[in-house]
Protein backbone atom coordinates (compact mmCIF):
# COMPACT_ATOMS: atom_id res chain seq x y z
CA UNK A 1 0.00 0.00 0.00
CA UNK A 2 1.32 3.43 -1.01
CA UNK A 3 1.72 6.01 1.71
CA UNK A 4 0.46 9.53 1.19
CA UNK A 5 3.23 12.08 0.53
CA UNK A 6 4.12 14.27 3.44
CA UNK A 7 3.51 17.95 2.65
CA UNK A 8 5.61 20.47 4.60
CA UNK A 9 3.54 22.25 7.21
CA UNK A 10 4.01 25.86 5.96
CA UNK A 11 3.18 24.83 2.36
CA UNK A 12 0.20 22.69 3.46
CA UNK A 13 -1.17 25.63 5.43
CA UNK A 14 -1.47 27.70 2.23
CA UNK A 15 -4.76 27.70 0.34
CA UNK A 16 -4.74 25.52 -2.75
CA UNK A 17 -5.12 28.51 -5.09
CA UNK A 18 -2.06 30.27 -3.66
CA UNK A 19 0.01 27.07 -3.87
CA UNK A 20 -0.93 26.73 -7.54
CA UNK A 21 -0.14 30.37 -8.35
CA UNK A 22 3.24 30.10 -6.59
CA UNK A 23 4.08 27.00 -8.58
CA UNK A 24 3.07 28.73 -11.82
CA UNK A 25 5.28 31.71 -10.90
CA UNK A 26 8.31 29.45 -10.37
CA UNK A 27 7.73 27.64 -13.65
CA UNK A 28 7.20 30.95 -15.43
CA UNK A 29 10.47 32.36 -14.07
CA UNK A 30 12.26 29.12 -14.98
CA UNK A 31 11.15 29.21 -18.62
CA UNK A 32 11.72 32.98 -18.86
CA UNK A 33 15.16 32.79 -17.23
CA UNK A 34 17.15 32.61 -20.52
CA UNK A 35 15.56 35.87 -21.69
CA UNK A 36 15.87 37.49 -18.27
CA UNK A 37 19.52 36.51 -17.93
CA UNK A 38 20.23 37.73 -21.46
CA UNK A 39 18.52 41.04 -20.69
CA UNK A 40 20.53 41.50 -17.49
CA UNK A 41 23.86 40.63 -19.14
CA UNK A 42 23.50 42.28 -22.53
CA UNK A 43 21.12 45.21 -21.89
CA UNK A 44 20.86 46.32 -18.27
CA UNK A 45 24.50 45.71 -17.29
CA UNK A 46 25.94 47.61 -20.31
CA UNK A 47 23.61 50.55 -19.54
CA UNK A 48 24.74 50.70 -15.92
CA UNK A 49 28.39 50.24 -16.96
CA UNK A 50 28.11 53.06 -19.53
CA UNK A 51 26.70 55.43 -16.91
CA UNK A 52 29.60 54.61 -14.58
CA UNK A 53 32.24 54.86 -17.30
CA UNK A 54 30.89 58.26 -18.36
CA UNK A 55 32.32 59.63 -15.10
CA UNK A 56 35.75 58.13 -15.74
CA UNK A 57 38.67 58.39 -18.12
CA UNK A 58 39.00 55.00 -19.68
CA UNK A 59 40.45 53.28 -22.72
CA UNK A 60 40.53 49.60 -23.60
CA UNK A 61 43.34 47.85 -21.76
CA UNK A 62 43.47 50.30 -18.84
CA UNK A 63 41.53 50.63 -15.62
CA UNK A 64 38.85 53.32 -15.39
CA UNK A 65 39.88 56.42 -13.41
CA UNK A 66 37.14 58.44 -11.74
CA UNK A 67 37.07 62.08 -12.93
CA UNK A 68 33.54 63.10 -11.98
CA UNK A 69 31.64 65.24 -14.48
CA UNK A 70 34.73 66.26 -16.48
CA UNK A 71 33.58 64.41 -19.61
CA UNK A 72 30.23 66.23 -19.60
CA UNK A 73 31.91 69.59 -18.91
CA UNK A 74 34.21 69.03 -21.90
CA UNK A 75 31.24 68.33 -24.14
CA UNK A 76 28.99 71.20 -23.08
CA UNK A 77 31.77 73.78 -22.78
CA UNK A 78 32.71 73.36 -26.44
CA UNK A 79 36.22 72.15 -25.62
CA UNK A 80 35.46 69.18 -27.86
CA UNK A 81 35.10 70.78 -31.32
CA UNK A 82 33.00 67.91 -32.70
CA UNK A 83 30.18 67.76 -30.16
CA UNK A 84 28.02 70.69 -31.26
CA UNK A 85 28.49 70.05 -35.02
CA UNK A 86 27.35 66.45 -34.41
CA UNK A 87 24.31 67.62 -32.42
CA UNK A 88 23.41 70.21 -35.08
CA UNK A 89 23.73 67.75 -37.98
CA UNK A 90 21.71 65.08 -36.18
CA UNK A 91 18.86 67.40 -35.16
CA UNK A 92 18.73 68.82 -38.69
CA UNK A 93 18.51 65.31 -40.13
CA UNK A 94 15.92 64.04 -37.63
CA UNK A 95 13.52 66.98 -37.64
CA UNK A 96 13.39 67.10 -41.43
CA UNK A 97 13.55 63.42 -42.38
CA UNK A 98 11.12 62.07 -39.78
CA UNK A 99 8.07 64.30 -40.51
CA UNK A 100 8.62 64.05 -44.28
CA UNK A 101 9.16 60.29 -44.04
CA UNK A 102 5.94 59.79 -42.06
CA UNK A 103 3.91 61.88 -44.52
CA UNK A 104 5.39 60.17 -47.59
CA UNK A 105 4.97 56.69 -46.09
CA UNK A 106 1.37 57.34 -45.12
CA UNK A 107 0.29 58.60 -48.53
CA UNK A 108 2.20 55.85 -50.33
CA UNK A 109 0.33 53.34 -48.15
CA UNK A 110 -2.97 55.06 -49.01
CA UNK A 111 -2.16 54.73 -52.71
CA UNK A 112 -1.10 51.10 -52.35
CA UNK A 113 -4.35 50.37 -50.54
CA UNK A 114 -6.41 51.34 -53.58
CA UNK A 115 -7.82 48.75 -55.95
CA UNK A 116 -5.39 49.18 -58.84
CA UNK A 117 -3.81 46.79 -61.30
CA UNK A 118 -0.49 45.34 -60.19
CA UNK A 119 -1.06 46.37 -56.58
CA UNK A 120 0.88 43.37 -55.20
CA UNK A 121 3.78 44.14 -57.56
CA UNK A 122 4.04 47.76 -56.43
CA UNK A 123 3.88 46.70 -52.78
CA UNK A 124 6.83 44.39 -53.37
CA UNK A 125 8.77 47.10 -55.19
CA UNK A 126 8.40 49.56 -52.31
CA UNK A 127 9.41 46.94 -49.74
CA UNK A 128 12.36 45.56 -51.73
CA UNK A 129 14.92 48.19 -50.57
CA UNK A 130 14.38 47.07 -46.97
CA UNK A 131 15.70 43.59 -47.84
CA UNK A 132 18.94 45.02 -49.24
CA UNK A 133 21.57 45.65 -46.53
CA UNK A 134 21.78 49.35 -45.72
CA UNK A 135 25.55 49.42 -46.25
CA UNK A 136 25.15 47.99 -49.76
CA UNK A 137 22.40 50.50 -50.59
CA UNK A 138 24.61 53.30 -49.30
CA UNK A 139 27.46 52.23 -51.56
CA UNK A 140 25.20 52.02 -54.62
CA UNK A 141 23.68 55.45 -54.02
CA UNK A 142 27.09 56.95 -53.32
CA UNK A 143 28.13 55.88 -56.84
CA UNK A 144 24.84 57.05 -58.38
CA UNK A 145 25.25 60.48 -56.75
CA UNK A 146 28.92 60.89 -57.68
CA UNK A 147 29.16 64.50 -58.98
CA UNK A 148 31.42 63.81 -61.99
CA UNK A 149 30.29 60.47 -63.45
CA UNK A 150 27.19 59.55 -61.41
CA UNK A 151 24.08 58.57 -63.34
CA UNK A 152 21.87 61.04 -61.43
CA UNK A 153 23.78 64.10 -62.61
CA UNK A 154 24.03 62.56 -66.08
CA UNK A 155 20.24 62.26 -66.32
CA UNK A 156 19.80 65.80 -65.01
CA UNK A 157 22.15 67.08 -67.71
CA UNK A 158 20.16 65.23 -70.39
CA UNK A 159 17.01 66.93 -69.11
CA UNK A 160 18.80 70.31 -69.02
CA UNK A 161 18.27 70.57 -65.27
CA UNK A 162 20.83 71.89 -62.74
CA UNK A 163 23.16 69.28 -61.27
CA UNK A 164 24.44 69.09 -57.70
CA UNK A 165 27.52 68.09 -55.76
CA UNK A 166 25.20 65.98 -53.58
CA UNK A 167 27.41 64.39 -50.90
CA UNK A 168 30.41 66.56 -51.78
CA UNK A 169 29.04 69.94 -50.70
CA UNK A 170 28.47 71.26 -47.19
CA UNK A 171 25.05 72.69 -48.05
CA UNK A 172 23.67 69.64 -49.84
CA UNK A 173 25.15 66.71 -47.91
CA UNK A 174 22.49 66.47 -45.17
CA UNK A 175 19.55 67.08 -47.58
CA UNK A 176 21.01 64.30 -49.74
CA UNK A 177 21.10 61.94 -46.76
CA UNK A 178 17.52 62.94 -45.98
CA UNK A 179 16.50 62.04 -49.54
CA UNK A 180 18.32 58.72 -49.20
CA UNK A 181 16.38 57.97 -46.00
CA UNK A 182 13.18 57.85 -48.09
CA UNK A 183 14.68 54.87 -49.95
CA UNK A 184 14.24 52.71 -46.86
CA UNK A 185 10.63 53.57 -45.95
CA UNK A 186 9.34 50.10 -46.86
CA UNK A 187 8.81 48.95 -43.27
CA UNK A 188 6.89 52.08 -42.37
CA UNK A 189 4.73 51.78 -45.50
CA UNK A 190 3.89 48.14 -44.72
CA UNK A 191 2.86 49.02 -41.15
CA UNK A 192 0.67 51.86 -42.41
CA UNK A 193 -0.82 49.54 -45.02
CA UNK A 194 -1.72 46.97 -42.36
CA UNK A 195 -3.43 49.68 -40.32
CA UNK A 196 -5.37 51.01 -43.30
CA UNK A 197 -6.69 47.56 -44.11
CA UNK A 198 -8.11 47.33 -40.61
CA UNK A 199 -10.37 50.37 -41.03
CA UNK A 200 -14.03 49.20 -41.28
CA UNK A 201 -15.48 49.69 -44.76
CA UNK A 202 -18.88 50.79 -43.41
CA UNK A 203 -17.31 54.05 -42.20
CA UNK A 204 -16.43 54.98 -45.77
CA UNK A 205 -19.91 53.91 -46.87
CA UNK A 206 -21.40 56.30 -44.30
CA UNK A 207 -19.31 59.17 -45.69
CA UNK A 208 -20.51 58.41 -49.21
CA UNK A 209 -24.16 58.34 -48.08
CA UNK A 210 -23.67 61.77 -46.54
CA UNK A 211 -22.26 63.07 -49.82
CA UNK A 212 -18.61 63.16 -48.80
CA UNK A 213 -15.74 62.75 -51.25
CA UNK A 214 -12.18 61.47 -51.11
CA UNK A 215 -10.89 64.31 -48.98
CA UNK A 216 -13.67 63.85 -46.46
CA UNK A 217 -12.80 60.15 -46.24
CA UNK A 218 -9.12 60.99 -45.80
CA UNK A 219 -9.45 63.66 -43.08
CA UNK A 220 -12.48 62.31 -41.21
CA UNK A 221 -11.92 58.55 -41.42
CA UNK A 222 -8.50 57.46 -42.67
CA UNK A 223 -6.24 59.78 -40.67
CA UNK A 224 -8.15 59.61 -37.34
CA UNK A 225 -8.50 55.83 -37.54
CA UNK A 226 -4.78 55.53 -38.39
CA UNK A 227 -3.61 57.88 -35.62
CA UNK A 228 -2.34 55.04 -33.41
CA UNK A 229 -0.26 53.70 -36.33
CA UNK A 230 1.03 57.21 -37.08
CA UNK A 231 1.99 57.55 -33.42
CA UNK A 232 3.84 54.21 -33.40
CA UNK A 233 5.72 54.94 -36.63
CA UNK A 234 6.64 58.43 -35.42
CA UNK A 235 8.19 57.11 -32.21
CA UNK A 236 10.16 54.45 -34.06
CA UNK A 237 11.27 56.94 -36.73
CA UNK A 238 12.56 59.41 -34.14
CA UNK A 239 14.50 56.69 -32.32
CA UNK A 240 16.01 55.38 -35.57
CA UNK A 241 16.76 58.91 -36.79
CA UNK A 242 18.79 59.81 -33.70
CA UNK A 243 20.74 56.57 -34.14
CA UNK A 244 21.53 56.98 -37.86
CA UNK A 245 25.03 55.60 -38.40
CA UNK A 246 25.48 53.43 -41.49
CA UNK A 247 24.57 56.09 -44.06
CA UNK A 248 27.05 58.81 -42.97
CA UNK A 249 29.68 56.21 -42.07
CA UNK A 250 29.66 54.65 -45.54
CA UNK A 251 28.74 57.61 -47.73
CA UNK A 252 30.51 60.61 -46.18
CA UNK A 253 32.55 59.56 -43.12
CA UNK A 254 31.18 62.71 -41.48
CA UNK A 255 32.33 65.11 -44.19
CA UNK A 256 32.58 67.49 -45.79
CA UNK A 257 33.77 69.74 -42.96
CA UNK A 258 31.90 67.63 -40.37
CA UNK A 259 28.52 68.70 -41.79
CA UNK A 260 27.32 65.07 -41.83
CA UNK A 261 29.02 64.01 -38.60
CA UNK A 262 25.93 62.46 -37.07
CA UNK A 263 25.84 61.83 -33.35
CA UNK A 264 26.32 58.05 -33.37
CA UNK A 265 29.16 58.35 -35.90
CA UNK A 266 30.77 60.89 -33.57
CA UNK A 267 30.26 58.46 -30.68
CA UNK A 268 31.88 55.66 -32.70
CA UNK A 269 34.89 57.83 -33.63
CA UNK A 270 35.35 58.93 -30.03
CA UNK A 271 35.19 55.43 -28.58
CA UNK A 272 36.73 53.15 -31.20
CA UNK A 273 38.99 55.42 -33.26
CA UNK A 274 40.25 57.73 -30.50
CA UNK A 275 39.98 55.07 -27.73
CA UNK A 276 38.32 57.51 -25.34
CA UNK A 277 35.71 55.16 -23.95
CA UNK A 278 34.88 57.38 -20.98
CA UNK A 279 33.99 60.30 -23.22
CA UNK A 280 32.13 57.97 -25.60
CA UNK A 281 30.08 56.65 -22.67
CA UNK A 282 29.12 60.22 -21.72
CA UNK A 283 28.03 60.83 -25.33
CA UNK A 284 25.97 57.62 -25.25
CA UNK A 285 24.28 58.59 -21.97
CA UNK A 286 23.29 61.96 -23.43
CA UNK A 287 21.88 60.22 -26.50
CA UNK A 288 19.83 57.93 -24.27
CA UNK A 289 18.45 60.91 -22.33
CA UNK A 290 17.55 62.81 -25.51
CA UNK A 291 15.74 59.82 -27.02
CA UNK A 292 13.91 59.20 -23.72
CA UNK A 293 12.91 62.88 -23.53
CA UNK A 294 11.55 63.05 -27.07
CA UNK A 295 9.72 59.74 -26.63
CA UNK A 296 8.12 61.08 -23.42
CA UNK A 297 7.07 64.30 -25.21
CA UNK A 298 5.50 62.32 -28.07
CA UNK A 299 3.63 60.11 -25.58
CA UNK A 300 2.41 63.21 -23.72
CA UNK A 301 0.91 64.81 -26.83
CA UNK A 302 -0.48 61.47 -28.01
CA UNK A 303 -3.03 61.57 -25.17
CA UNK A 304 -5.10 64.13 -27.04
CA UNK A 305 -4.25 63.14 -30.61
CA UNK A 306 -4.34 59.36 -30.82
CA UNK A 307 -7.58 57.41 -31.22
CA UNK A 308 -7.79 53.86 -29.84
CA UNK A 309 -10.87 52.00 -31.04
CA UNK A 310 -10.83 49.54 -28.14
CA UNK A 311 -11.03 52.42 -25.65
CA UNK A 312 -13.83 54.09 -27.48
CA UNK A 313 -11.92 57.26 -28.18
CA UNK A 314 -8.65 59.05 -27.62
CA UNK A 315 -6.18 57.82 -25.04
Q: Supply the pLDDT for residue 27.
A: 87
Q: Supply the pLDDT for residue 60.
A: 81
Q: Supply the pLDDT for residue 3.
A: 53
Regions of the chain short of the pLDDT cut 50 = 1, 11
Q: Supply the pLDDT for residue 28.
A: 87
d(CA 60, CA 157) in angstroms, rounded, equals 51
Query: Quick check: helix, strand or coil at residue 93?
Result: helix
Q: Supply the pLDDT for residue 11.
A: 47
Burial of 197-207, coded b for 16+ CB within 10 Å and e otherwise, reads eebeeeebeeb
Amino acid sequence: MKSNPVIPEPYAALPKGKRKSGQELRYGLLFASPVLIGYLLFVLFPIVASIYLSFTTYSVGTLPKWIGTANYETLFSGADPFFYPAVTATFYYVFVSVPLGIVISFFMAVLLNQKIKGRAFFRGVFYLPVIIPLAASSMVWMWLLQPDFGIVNYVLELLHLPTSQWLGDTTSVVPTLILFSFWTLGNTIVIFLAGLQGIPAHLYDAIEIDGGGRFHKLFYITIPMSSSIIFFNTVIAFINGFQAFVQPSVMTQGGPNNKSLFYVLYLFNEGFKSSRMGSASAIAVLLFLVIALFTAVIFFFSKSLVYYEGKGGKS
